Chain A
Amino acid sequence: MQFDIIEKGQYTIVQVNEGRFDAKLAPAFREQLEQIKGNVRTHLVLDLGEVRFMDSSGLGAVMGAYKMLRNTKISIVNPQKPVTDLLKLTRMDKLILSHPTIEDALAPTA
């Protein structure tokens, strides 16, 4: 599976199980999000721990998620350095906070 979706009460976790979040994966991600957006309550957690490389299409998909879920809190969990660098370069780190673990992302203070 390219994605695992865990829906638990107020939060939804989308785990990306691919090493490359690129033009090949981005449409499927967008589709997946379209399907679950009605169920996402208050917090969407993107677990990108597996992603070693994200290209401009992958970034576009993440930005698209942010725009699609305007009133939902979005967190990124466990990003590797290339992803962190790209999020910082494009200031997406200011809009979507990153956390080392899912527990941290779900902590009330996060």
Chain B
Amino acid sequence: MEAAALTKEILLVEDNKVMLMMMSQMLSSRGYRVVTAKHGLDALTQLDSHPDIQFVLSDWMMPELNGIELCYQLKSAEYNRYIFFVLLSGRDDKESIVEGINAGADDFVAKDTNINELDARIKAGFRTLELHNQLVAKNIELDCAYATIKQDLESASELIQRMLPNQTRFKGVEINYTHIPSAQIGGDMLGCMQLDEEHIAIYLFDVAGHGVASALMSFSIQQSISSNSGTASNVKRKKDTDPFYSLIEPSEVIAHLNQSYISQDQNNLYFTMVYAVLNTKSGLLTYSFAGHPPMIWLQKSESHCEFIAQDSFVAGMFDFAEYQTEQVQLKPNDRVFLYSDGITEAEDQQKNQYSEVGLKQLVLALSNQPGDTQTDTIVSTVSAWCGAAQFDDDISLLVLEWQGE
């Protein structure tokens, strides 16, 4: 509602006809439009038929419904609009004023108050009304903006879900994953892809922060990794000799992403990542990290779990950052777990974190479950441990199992 649109309309409630006429004329002479009622019940009817009136000047003692009772009704939370209520009375003793304040009256005016003071008080009341109405209008705007943002976040979240990998079964390799975006959507993303007949890439990254900026960056990174057009991409390069391409080393893939996403602004968006390539024939896993938490390596035949860690700079922050490629030799049925800090930093009611060590123990404890079950059980176990309905951060977990040749 525009402030200017506020009509200076007053409902005057008074049972004494002479007084009613006198005051009505006085107020009209000061430019107010006056609607009258002869008691409280009449006032309610008048307010119903004049939905714009927000200012009530009411006598105290009246038949049917007195001023205090009228005030209670108009100031109750159920009443359909905000009313500025002024009690008009010959009585100005302290007890009556307390009663009036308790009923919710905004001001008190003695009947014999001169017109200048009355006018000044009414003006003050209209200023309060104006502020109130502006506040209400702003709140409505905010509610709309919030609803829009919420809807946008939901759409973004859906879009993110569609970027998740469809194909998770490859020759000799089974991949399972869980990806649960937090309420405000974050920047977690994961993926897997067949690079050639013998190589499968898996990766997981986590853009710091929440919200649209993080999600957009995540979306963009996902596009640059997974767009695998022909022989040239961020994970493969062209070559002049057979087979006319070569795989780009993990450290180089990350170094390239780092350079592409160096933030110039004060936003300081960055991401942590792990990218690994499995040779599906030999079980050799080459990998590179960018400030990302360690992978967990479940060595099935030994019933043993180990971290695969690499200290490294995060990506998208420093142009001088360099990355390393390292490798481990998997044995058949070994599993490798990629995850983001959302799961290890999940907290229980006492603010204890689940921790990387906790996750490693859980992986080992559930090692006899099949891959797909194990992924789900891990997430549901951590969730139950937290005791909250929803995780605070994105949860993502990707598990690769090499079945051997």
B-binding residues in A (CB < 8 A): 23, 30, 53, 55-57, 59-61, 63-64, 67, 88-92
Contact = CB atoms under 8 A, between A and B. Distances in A.
A60 B266 contact: no
B209 A90 contact: no
Interface residues of B, number: 20
A67 B268 contact: yes
Given A63-B270, A89-B291, A91-B291, A57 B209 contact: yes
B397 to A, nearest CB: 17
B309 interface: yes
A56 B270 CA distance: 9
B340 to A, nearest CB: 9
Nearest to B271: A56
Given A67-B268, A67-B317, 8 more contacts: A23-B210, A30-B266, A60-B209, A61-B268, A63-B318, A90-B272, A91-B291, A91-B313
A63 B341 contact: no
Contacts of B313: 90-92
B209 A89 contact: no
B317 A63 contact: yes
Contact of A88 (B208, B272, B311): B311
Interface of B: 206, 208-210, 266, 268, 270, 272, 291, 293, 309, 311-314, 317-318, 341, 345, 353
Contacts of A89: 291, 293, 309, 311-312
A56 B272 contact: yes
Question: In terms of DSSP, what is the predominant structure of the interface of chain A?
Answer: helix
16 contacts: A30-B268, A55-B345, A56-B272, A57-B208, A59-B208, A60-B270, A63-B268, A63-B270, A63-B314, A64-B268, A67-B317, A89-B293, A89-B309, A89-B311, A89-B312, A91-B313
Contacts of A53: 353
A61 B318 CA distance: 14
Nearest to B312: A91
A1 to B, nearest CB: 22
Contact of A55 (B268, B293, B318, B341): B341
Given A64-B266, A91-B312, A56 B206 contact: yes
A19 to B, nearest CB: 9
A88 B309 CA distance: 11
Contacts of A60: 208-209, 268, 270
Closest CB pairs A-B (n = 9): A90-B291, A56-B208, A64-B268, A60-B208, A60-B268, A91-B313, A90-B314, A91-B311, A63-B317
A23 B268 contact: no
Nearest to A34: B266
A56 B394 CA distance: 13
Contacts of A88: 311
Contacts of B341: 55-56
A60 B209 CA distance: 9
A54 to B, nearest CB: 10
Contacts of B208: 56-57, 59-60
A106 B28 CA distance: 77
Contacts of A61: 268
A71 to B, nearest CB: 15
Contacts of B272: 56, 90
Contacts of B206: 56
Contact of A90 (B266, B268, B312, B345): B312
Question: Among A56, A63, A90, A91, which residue has the most Cβ atoms of chain B within 10 A?
Answer: A56
A15 B224 CA distance: 40
